[in-house]
Structure 1
Amino acid sequence: MSKIIDTKDWCIKDTNSIISFETTSGGGWEKWDRYISIEGKKAFHIGNICGTCSFFFERLGGANGSNQGISPKEISEEFRKGITNLEDVFLSKVSLILPSGDYKVLLNEVIPEFIELGTEKDYFSNEQVQVWGMNSFWGLPHYPKVKYYRGITKELSNNSKLFEFIVPTFPVGWLEEETIEMYKSLISKEVKPTALCLSVLDIKEPADYEEETKHIQHWCLTHYIIDGHHKVFSAATQNQPITLLSFLATKEGIADRNDLSSLLDNLKTV
């Protein structure tokens, strides 16, 4: 389950954020691989610019030092209680810790489902293999190096499907049990705390595929958790909703503005 509560266009300029989007060259292209970096170190490989290549994300070494939330204290309490709408003053405070750029800001409610890699719920071992097959070099499914969560999966048309991912910066084993229990208690009282995410939409479709293959076009909406790991895990263990404040970067994914508008329309009708 995932549904939009509120949306807003937002621009962040001249921040001193420790988080950044980066690209590197490859295959004859000046910009090929895309990354999210923290303090100048690559934390996630978030795919390439190829629209026919398979979607992927992969946790990198730059995420190892990021085992604490990075939200300013003045907004942490509001995240703990859960926000219910998008106010400019609050978004301005949040913007201080995010990279410069243009965004679609989404406040959406989601029930996260924790995914064990290699199981029947793992996108990379199932839905992706059905369309792109195994990794051509290794002969194996993609391995993202971190367990993740899934949100909504929704058919958009006979040929396209939406997949929502919520990706932690650090693994579950680093979470503090006392904080987990605190959020479980809040969530059991129908409080919906808010996690902060930096998000990207990639639309991927293979150049070659079997004629009978269904849903060849994958709309992959990925939320990288900036702050709120304990909240997301606690909600997943109780199968209860929380909210995500997602800054969806409009120029960092494999999608244009029309695609982003279509995405929002589809999420509003869930």
Structure 2
Amino acid sequence: MVREPRRLGVPGPEARLRFETEPRKLGPGPGRRLLVLDGEPAFQLSPWCGTCQFLFQRLEGANQMLSLEGMQERLAGRLSELDDDILDAFGSLLPEGDYLPSLLRVEPRLVTPGQEGDYFSGEQVAAWGIDAFWGLPEHPRTPYYRTFETVVDEGAHLYEFVVPMIPPSWNEPERVEEYAEQMRRGAVPTAVAVSTLDLCQPALDLHSTDYHGHWGLTHFLLDGHHKLAAAASVGRPVQLLSLLALGESLAAPDDHRRLAALRSQPSLSRGTRPTP
């Protein structure tokens, strides 16, 4: 379920979670693109250039959840529609701007960097090669969840991620097991995230074994860390209320409008094409 863009948020300095760009230390142009929590850099995001590798990389400021008092009961199950009260409540954590709210069904799979299924040492290396300076793949510095991917067109692929604000190892095992048991009985709880859509493609194919554009749809969890961990552990779905930050994404309005149709396609890995 998708709604038209909505104005949400509070004045920038009052927002607990906001997007910032650091001044560049050397040379012209912008510096690091950041997601900042309570004034501290929490994640480094994809560079502005659009030809560099897609990125989310955990920094020291990503050290707490953003659950809201009074929301737990309302998010205990699946939402049948976009709830204005919930949107406004979580919008109060974010800087004022245009957000595209949507309700998504996700089936999370926990991935550890450098291990099987890791996007950064797999699909990203196939497109960009390893980092020329470090001689290594990019590294997100956190386990994360892969949830969905599909074909955009012949030259591009959509990759979706859910990124926790704290490592899954920090979750309370008892709470994870409580949610897991509820899910075994058919419950589908709701998590909440602020999201970005970054479109990235190598400028040249010199180091590519699979040259294509990457649409990186990243959901940074505000609420639902234990729910995602439980769903991944028992192979069950959760619902995700995504607030896509339109002004903070490396994508155009036409790209945002395509997301609903892309997200309704079958989940297909790179190289797979729909059956005619």
Alignment TM-score, normalising by the size of structure 1: 0.92
Which structure has greater helix proportion?
1
2:130 to 128, 134, 149: 134
Residue 22 of structure 1 corresponds to 20
Match of 1:233 in 2: 229
What percentage of aligned pairs have identical amino acids?
Answer: 36
**Superposed structure 1 runs of 4+ greater than 6 Å apart:** none
Two-structure CA RMSD over aligned residues (Å): 1.8
Superposition pairs of residues 33-44 of structure 1, within 5 angstroms: 33-44=32-43
Task: Report SS of the residue matched to 2:255.
Answer: helix
Q: SS in structure 2 opposite 1:6?
A: coil
* Cα distance, 1:102 vs structure 2: 0.7
Q: Is the Cα–Cα contact under 8 Å of residues 54 and 206 in structure 1 kept in the other structure?
A: yes
Once the 2 structures are TM-superposed, how far is the Cα of residue 172 of structure 1 from its aligned partner? Answer: 1.6
1:54, 1:193 → 2: CA distance?
A: 33
Q: Label 1:161 to 1:55 Cα distance change in 2 as closer, same or farther (>3 A).
A: same
Unaligned segments of structure 2, at least 5 residues: 267-276
**Unmatched segments (≥5 aa) in structure 1:** none
Counterpart of 1:249 in structure 2 is: 245
What are the equivalent positions in structure 2 for 1:248-267 lying under 5 Å apart? 248-267=244-263
Alignment length (residue pairs): 263
Q: Which residue in 1 is equivalent to 2:154?
A: 158
1:200 CA displacement:
0.4
- What does the per-residue CA deviation read over 1:33-83, in whole Å, with 9 as the maximum and x for residues that have no partner? 21111110001111211111111111001113x1xx323222221112232
Question: Residues of 2 paired with 1:109 and 1:264: CA distance?
Answer: 12
Any conservation in 1 of the 2:125–2:208 contact (CA below 8 Å)? no
Q: 2:67 aligns with which of 68, 71, 74?
A: 71
More strand by share: 1
TM superposition shift of 1:94: 2.4
Task: Confirm or deny that 1:52 pairs with 2:59.
Answer: no
Secondary structure of 2:61 counterpart = helix
Q: State the TM-score, normalizing by the size of structure 2.
A: 0.90
CA deviation digits over 1:8-41, x for unaligned, max 9?
A: 4211143533111111132634433211111100
Q: 1:177 aligns with which of 173, 177, 181?
A: 173
Q: Which amino acid letter does the alignment assign opposite residue 17 of structure 1?
A: A
Quick one: distance in 2 between partners of 1:74 and 1:184?
22
Shift of 1:98: 2.4
Question: Partner amino acid for 2:54?
Answer: F
Give 1:111's aligned residue. Answer: 107
SS in structure 1 at match of 2:230: helix
